[in-house]
């Protein structure tokens, strides 16, 4: 045994010896990085910018020269460092973190065991064990060291351009000024504390038809709200003419819902990969009533509770949120899905919510507590749409597996599936004991709720049908497609009666 111990000590010594020698090797690798480029983030993208360039110019390997010219530097970075106004975490620092760091250190990922999706997380050391920020001591702030390291292997953001000198100065000053948190809740998502900027204006005239990803009838059926590009457009259902354009809207809208009295129009939208927003508009005046919340990625659906007092949103940030409509306060945050939540709907009694997600599950939640009640695992692909049947005893969910699944929300047991779709099933609605759906097979379909028999397949769209809305009072169905075409159908005859492109100013030539 004695022998063994002697050997072991030697071994340990030799191992330590090797590791220290290894460490000494690394600095040699570091190379001064070439000059920092200003992080060109378009905060007000001119949406209708003429984009088509002579194709040959692209072949010269300098294709970007014209597009990336002279974009304004971010507000935060442009601020002169000498001003007396202290650096604001939420206004100056958080935007930098969100833009540059969140992908790898966000809520869903923790490279180096470090996260910064909230201020609390941001302040907690990662695997190095070193304090990310020490108030008043930039030299003892690991975050700053990594942002400015000369060693390209460790300099953050990894593989990205380094922060500009001005941005570094800002972070340094913020630490020097005491590294204070100036928002309310240190556990709030950084994206939610960043002061919002107005959304860019929609294009005067569309250069291309944008896919119609959201549609909603006003309660009286006279108007149709459609998600546009940085806007919501309101159309006259009688003649398909544009009535109003609601501005200061997120880039894309994926969900629209009118309140029962028609005074509010809720919109779920966002800029893919960048931000999401839950907002309420006055559809008559075309103004913003309230912005309910922001998310780290797009909001994909929204739904008013049956009593109209609550509204639920789901998002690609994996969350489901409900808000009190009157006060705008968030009443519930459900983070139960493992991937984008594509759809959200209430049960008729308002007691439950049903969701569908890219994690291939559909889930039922208690709408009061947010507790997960049932998980339906039957879809083999993303669940794109899910609704309760009026009796609350059945859920119908449509998905990328080209089927509608019928299942029991009490136990998650499947009772039937509806096949016959030639593509993903994007929307499912139940109106007057009929199942309405639309699909990538370019059709909208009506099935009987009772026996799931196909009543009619509505053909006429030339491309994927992304969105659908039914107005039983006026016997109208609206459908919207990938190609920007909106169709109004007479549900008495199943015949299309109107067709238009929801893209103001779009010329036929541009549409082609």
Partner 1 sequence: MQGIMNNLVRATVLLAIVASLSTVARAESSAATKAMSMKSADAAGMGMDSMSMRATETKSIAPIVVGKPTRIEVKPEMILFATPMQYMNIVVSGFYADGRVQDLTRVATLATADARVARIQEGIVLPVGDGKTSVTVSVGDFKASIPVETVGHGKPEQVSFLNSVQAALTKQGCNQGACHGSPSGKGGFRLSLRAYDPVLDIETLVREAYTRRIDLMDPAGSLLLLKPLMEVAHGGGRRIKKDDYSYGMLRDWIAQGAKVDADGAATCVKIEVYPKNREYLRPAHVQQLLVLGHYSDGSVRDITKLADYLSSDEAVATVDPDGFVVSRERGETTVLVRYLDKMETTALTFLENVPGFQWSNPPESNFIDKFVFEKLKRLQIAPSEVCNDEEFVRRVYLDVIGRLPTIAETEAFLTNKASEKRSLLIEQLLASDEFPSFWALKWADLLRVRKTKISEPGVHKFHHWIEQAVRENMPYDEFARRLVTASGSTLSNPAANFYRTSADVNDCTETASQLFLGVRIQCAKCHNHPFERWTQDNYYGIAAFFQRVQRKKTTDADDLVVWTARTGETTQPRTGKTMKPWAPLKGELDLPGEDDRRDAFAAWLTDPNNPFFAKVEVNRIWGHLTGRGIIEPVDDFRESNPAAHPALLEALAKDFVAHGYDRKHVMRTILNSRTYQLSSRRNEFNKDDVKYFSHSKTRMLSAEQLLDAICQVTGVPEKYAGLPAGTRAVELPSPDVDNYFLKVFGQPARETACACERAGESNLSQALQMINGPLVHGKIKDEKNRARVLAASGKSHSDVIKELYLAAFCRVPSAPELKAALDHIAKSGDAQRGLEDVCWAILNTNEFLFQH
Interatomic CA distance for residues 410 and 420, integer angstroms: 27
Q: Please list, in sequence order, all residues whose beta carbon lies within 8 angstroms of the beta carbon of residue 234, skipping any fewer than 6 positions away.
A: 223, 224, 225, 226, 242, 243, 244, 245, 246, 283, 286
Query: Looking at 35, 51, 261, 391, which residue binds partner 1 (CB under 8 A)?
Result: 51
Binding of residue 376 to partner 1 (CB under 8 A): no
Site of tokens 């984009």: 51
Binding of residue 99 to partner 1 (CB under 8 A): yes
Binding of residue 125 to partner 1 (CB under 8 A): no
Binding of residue 293 to partner 1 (CB under 8 A): no
Kindly state the DSSP code that residue 92 receives in the 8-state scheme: I
Token pair listed for 42:
């378009």
Of 339-358, binders to partner 1 (CB under 8 A) are: 339-340, 358
Nearest distance from C-beta of residue 435 to partner 1, angstroms:
21
Query: Looking at 95, 126, 132, 203, which residue binds partner 1 (CB under 8 A)?
Result: 203
147: left (phi over 0), alpha (psi -120 to 50) or beta: alpha
Where does 115-246 show beta strands of DSSP type E?
Answer: 215-217, 223-227, 232-236, 242-246
Interatomic CA distance for residues 117 and 108, integer angstroms: 9
Sign of CA dihedral 56, 59, 62, 68: positive
Binding of residue 3 to partner 1 (CB under 8 A): yes
Binding of residue 329 to partner 1 (CB under 8 A): no
Residue placing its CB nearer to partner 1 in the complex, 190 or 332: 190
Residue placing its CB nearer to partner 1 in the complex, 300 or 449: 300
SS3 state of residue 133: coil
Binding of residue 17 to partner 1 (CB under 8 A): yes
Residue placing its CB nearer to partner 1 in the complex, 65 or 326: 65
Token pair listed for 364:
């039922």
Binding of residue 122 to partner 1 (CB under 8 A): no
Q: What is the largest CA-CA distance in the chain?
A: 97
Binding of residue 272 to partner 1 (CB under 8 A): yes
Binding of residue 507 to partner 1 (CB under 8 A): no
Binding of residue 39 to partner 1 (CB under 8 A): yes
Binding of residue 15 to partner 1 (CB under 8 A): yes
Residue placing its CB nearer to partner 1 in the complex, 29 or 85: 29
Binding of residue 194 to partner 1 (CB under 8 A): no
Kindly state the DSSP code that residue 173 receives in the 8-state scheme: H
Residue placing its CB nearer to partner 1 in the complex, 99 or 363: 99
Of 155-174, binders to partner 1 (CB under 8 A) are: 157-161
Q: Which stretch binds partner 1 (CB under 8 A): 45-53, 136-144, 430-438, 494-502?
A: 45-53
Residue placing its CB nearer to partner 1 in the complex, 207 or 363: 207
Nearest distance from C-beta of residue 343 to partner 1, angstroms:
12
Binding of residue 35 to partner 1 (CB under 8 A): no
Interatomic CA distance for residues 362 and 374, integer angstroms: 8
Binding of residue 274 to partner 1 (CB under 8 A): yes
Of 58-97, binders to partner 1 (CB under 8 A) are: 58-65, 67-68
Interatomic CA distance for residues 189 and 481, integer angstroms: 34
CB atoms within 10 A of CB 304: 19
Q: What is the DSSP string of 124-151?
A: S--TT---S--TT-GGG-HHHHHHH-S-
Residue span 207-236 as binding mask against partner 1, x where in contact by CB under 8 A, dash where not: xxxxx-x---------------x-------
Binding of residue 505 to partner 1 (CB under 8 A): no
Number of residues that bind partner 1 (CB under 8 A): 73
Question: Residues in the chain, how many?
Answer: 512
Using a 10 angstrom Cβ sphere, with 0-12 exposed, 13-18 middle and 19 or more buried, the burial of residue 184 is exposed
Using a 10 angstrom Cβ sphere, with 0-12 exposed, 13-18 middle and 19 or more buried, the burial of residue 95 is buried
């Amino acid at each position: 045994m004695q022998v063994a111990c002697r050997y072991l000590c030697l071994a340990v010594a030799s191992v330590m010896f090797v590791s220290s020698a290894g460490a000494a090797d690394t600095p040699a690798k570091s190379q001064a990085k070439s000059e920092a480029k200003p992080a060109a983030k378009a905060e007000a993208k001119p949406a209708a910018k003429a984009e088509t360039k002579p194709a040959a110019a692209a072949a010269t390997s300098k294709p970007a020269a014209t597009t990336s010219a002279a974009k304004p530097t971010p507000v935060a970075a442009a601020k002169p460092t000498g001003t007396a106004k202290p650096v604001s975490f939420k206004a100056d620092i958080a935007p930098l973190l969100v833009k540059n760091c969140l992908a790898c250190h966000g809520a869903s990922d923790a490279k180096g065991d470090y996260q910064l999706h909230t201020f609390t997380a941001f302040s907690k050391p990662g695997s190095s064990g070193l304090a990310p920020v020490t108030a008043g001591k930039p030299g003892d702030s690991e975050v700053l060291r990594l942002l400015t390291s000369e060693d390209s292997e460790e300099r953050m953001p990894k593989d990205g351009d380094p922060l500009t000198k001005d941005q570094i100065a800002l972070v340094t000053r913020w630490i020097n000024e005491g590294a204070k948190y100036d928002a309310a809740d240190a556990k709030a998502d950084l994206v939610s504390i960043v002061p919002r900027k107005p959304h860019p204006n929609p294009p005067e005239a569309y250069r291309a038809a944008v896919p119609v990803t959201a549609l909603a009838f006003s309660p009286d059926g006279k108007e149709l709200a459609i998600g546009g590009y940085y806007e919501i457009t309101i159309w006259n259902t009688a003649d398909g003419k544009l009535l109003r354009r609601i501005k200061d809207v997120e880039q894309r809208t994926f969900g629209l819902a009118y309140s029962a009295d028609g005074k509010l129009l809720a919109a779920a939208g966002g800029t893919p990969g960048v931000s999401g927003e839950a907002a309420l508009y006055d559809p008559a005046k075309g103004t913003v009533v309230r912005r309910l919340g922001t998310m780290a990625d797009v909001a994909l659906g929204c739904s008013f509770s049956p009593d109209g007092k609550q509204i639920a949103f789901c998002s690609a940030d994996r969350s489901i949120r409900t808000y009190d409509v009157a006060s705008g306060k968030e009443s519930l945050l459900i983070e139960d899905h493992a991937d984008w939540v594509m759809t959200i709907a209430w049960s008729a009694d308002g007691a439950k919510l049903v969701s569908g997600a890219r994690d291939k599950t559909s889930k039922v939640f208690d709408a009061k507590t947010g507790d997960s009640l049932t998980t339906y695992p039957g879809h083999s692909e993303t669940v794109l749409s899910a609704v309760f049947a009026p009796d609350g005893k059945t859920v119908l969910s449509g998905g990328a597996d080209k089927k509608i699944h019928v299942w029991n929300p009490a136990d998650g047991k499947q009772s039937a599936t509806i096949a016959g779709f030639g593509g993903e099933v994007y929307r499912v609605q139940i109106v007057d004991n009929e199942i309405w759906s639309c699909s990538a097979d370019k059709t909208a379909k009506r099935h009987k709720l009772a026996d799931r028999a196909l009543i009619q397949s509505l053909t006429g769209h030339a491309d994927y049908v992304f969105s659908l809305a039914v107005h039983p009072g006026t016997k109208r169905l609206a459908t919207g497609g990938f190609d920007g075409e909106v169709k109004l159908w007479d549900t008495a005859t199943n015949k299309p009666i109107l067709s238009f492109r929801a893209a103001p100013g779009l010329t036929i030539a541009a549409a082609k």
